[in-house]
Amino acid sequence: MSVKVIDSKTAAELVPDNASVALDGCLGTDVAEEILEMMKKRYQETGHPKDLDVWYGCGIGDNKGSAVENFAEKGMLRRVVGGLWSLAPKLAPMVANNDFEAFNFPQGTISQLFRDAAAHRPVLVTHTGLGTFVDPENDGGRLNEAAKNSTLVNRIKIHGKDYLAYETPKPDVSIFRGTYADENGNITFDDEPLTMDVTAVAMAAHNNGGKVIVQVKRVVKAGSLDPKSVRVPGVLVDYVVPTDNPEMTKQTTDYIYNPDIIKSNIVKDVKQMDLPLDKKKVIARRAAFLFNPDTDHCVNFGIGQYPMYCAMVMKEEGLSDNIVTTVEAGTFGGTSLGGGSFGTAIAPQATIDEPYMFDFYNGGGLDATYLGLAEADQYGNLNVSKFGPKIAGTGGFVDITQYTPKIVFTGTFTAAGLKEEIKDGKLNIIQEGKVKKFVKHVQQITFSGKVAYDSNQEVWYVTERAVFKLVKGGIELMEIAPGVDLQKDVLDQMEFKPIISDNLQEMDPRIFQEPVMNIKNDKK
């Protein structure tokens, strides 16, 4: 058997009008950018393919017009179901204008939907999304009026318990990128740091009578690939598109090629981080006190600067020596990267396909997670997914927060113009942020405080000046920073009055001093 080798222009011409298209990728990783750009060019020249139904799990793109932003042409889209929307800002005004139906589902759920689509399961039944904006009792994952007449998720009961049943897609085309293809269409991912959903999206399209198109660096002779390195067997692949353009085969948005993110034999001294003592470090330091080395063996750090700082402070304090970090894109161990390389890690111990990583999360495999805090309300609900017309999307946030026993949300107390300094062991607020982040009602429920409390999860909200804990009926103020005024700097900057602990304390003074805190010794 031999696979058809074609160019990207021909590949773009193979996508018909009204097709359901399954994409794989994480930011720039595994994204078949050359094919997607050629699809855009074809549409601009001919008006085809039009009315596409596009599905993707992890956010793909770079905020600069790549990946799914190639579909930001009026009439090109009928529906988009995506896990993360923040990397495709050109789509946001189109969502607001109701140019197409827009849905935001949890990243892990979409990943598992591809796998279920391959097996012809009609729905994916899961706890993920209950009580959030994805729940049909709220918005059903809909992002605009155009989607109001479409239902892709329903509530059901099994053995008296509530679950969500997500409709599985039937892809007509799947498009993604590997490293090498042999003449039989077998695909390896030697230079790719992640394999994400590649097997699932390929099998979903193939088993539903669709076509699988794979962009690669080059085609090699049949029999020359290590069979254990083949992640997509040739029987699933219809077309291969080789390209030697390094800009179209970048490992991540940040790197054309970095061997450190695909190899484990890298030894780097990262204990001395030399992080400046600012609000980010203060937040991360307080969060580090919540780490328990006796129980927190497998930990997730979310996207964004504050979770990344948590990871770095734990390294600085020597707390991460005996933990395995994970990222939802599929990495275990190593030093997790942020920015345009989010999802990857320096010297990972292992990488697995994304559906299985979310199986791990959904089954309670994580001990703790450190995530960003964008907007919180009086009930302990969190919103990280939608702010007015800006659509960020949930990513893996819903999947991770609904199953992890300990959750630590991290972020500043206010936003937009906040200026602070740490001096003489105290926090000084120079200029207050214009936007209050602790509000009466969040704009969208990405995390349900009630569901978490009823599930006996331990939940903390850590800021540079105040620390809260989820309790019955809301959040309780546990600590404030030295130097801040409880009324002026905390309560007056909230839209509601929290429960205040009878044992309200100041945060540990070491947090606001330059030397390493040595909290590792506290935990012996």
Give domain 4-244's CATH architecture.
Answer: 3-Layer(aba) Sandwich (3.40)
Q: Is the dihedral of CA 245, 253, 231, 233 positive or negative?
A: negative
Give tens-digit pLDDT for 214-262.
Answer: 999 999 999 999 999 999 999 999 999 999 899 999 999 999 998 888 9
**pLDDT number for residue 177:** 98
Asked whether residue 522 carries a pLDDT value surpassing 90, the answer given is no
143 CB contacts (<8 Å, ≥6 apart)? Answer: 85, 95, 102, 103, 104, 386, 391
Q: Token match 């909290």: residue?
A: 519
485 CB contacts (<8 Å, ≥6 apart)? Answer: none
Average pLDDT of the chain? 94
pLDDT category of residue 322 using cuts at 50, 70 and 90: confident
pLDDT category of residue 267 using cuts at 50, 70 and 90: low
**pLDDT number for residue 520:** 86
Looking at domain 279-318+369-522, what is its CATH homologous superfamily? Glutaconate Coenzyme A-transferase (3.40.1080.10)
pLDDT category of residue 275 using cuts at 50, 70 and 90: confident
Give tens-digit pLDDT for 389-429.
Answer: 889 999 999 999 999 999 999 999 999 999 999 999 999 99
List the domain boundaries for the chain.
4-244, 279-318+369-522
pLDDT category of residue 523 using cuts at 50, 70 and 90: low
Give tens-digit pLDDT for 172-211.
Answer: 999 999 999 999 999 999 999 999 999 999 999 999 999 9
Q: Supply the DSSP string of 244-293, one letter for each residue.
A: --GGGS-SSSS-S--GGGT-S------S-----SSHHHHHHHHHHTT--T
| Nearest Cα residue to 345 out of 301, 313, 298 | 301
pLDDT category of residue 274 using cuts at 50, 70 and 90: confident
Rounded mean pLDDT, 312-333: 90
User: Hey, is 498 helix, strand or coil?
Assistant: coil
What would the two tokens of residue 421 be? 């300094």
192 catalytically annotated: no
Integer CA distances (angstroms), 342 to 58, 113, 333, in order = 11, 23, 14
Strand extents, DSSP E, 98-227: 101-104, 123-126, 153-158, 161-167, 173-177, 180-182, 187-188, 211-216, 218-220
Are 88 and 113 spatial neighbours (Cβ–Cβ below 8 Å)? no
Helical pair 354-362 and 107-118, crossing angle rounded to 10 deg: 120
pLDDT category of residue 271 using cuts at 50, 70 and 90: very low
What would the two tokens of residue 255 be? 């790197």
Give tens-digit pLDDT for 18-34.
Answer: 999 999 999 999 999 99
Rounded mean pLDDT, 320-324: 86
Annotated catalytic residue within 328, 420, 464, 476: 328
**pLDDT number for residue 273:** 57
What is the strand order of the sheet 101-104 is part of? 4-5, 239-242, 211-216, 173-177, 20-23, 52-56, 77-82, 101-104
Are 248 and 33 spatial neighbours (Cβ–Cβ below 8 Å)? yes
Using a 10 angstrom Cβ sphere, with 0-12 exposed, 13-18 middle and 19 or more buried, the burial of residue 244 is exposed
Give tens-digit pLDDT for 352-393.
Answer: 999 999 999 999 999 999 999 999 999 999 999 999 888 999
**pLDDT number for residue 208:** 98
**pLDDT number for residue 304:** 84
**pLDDT number for residue 361:** 96
Q: Do domains 4-244 and 279-318+369-522 have the same CATH topology?
A: yes
> 356: part of which helix (H) or strand (E)?
helix 354-362
452: alpha, beta or left, given left = phi > 0 and alpha = psi -120 to 50?
A: alpha
Rounded mean pLDDT, 37-63: 97
Does this model's pTM top 0.75? yes
Give tens-digit pLDDT for 118-135.
Answer: 999 999 999 999 999 999
474: alpha, beta or left, given left = phi > 0 and alpha = psi -120 to 50?
A: left
pLDDT category of residue 334 using cuts at 50, 70 and 90: confident
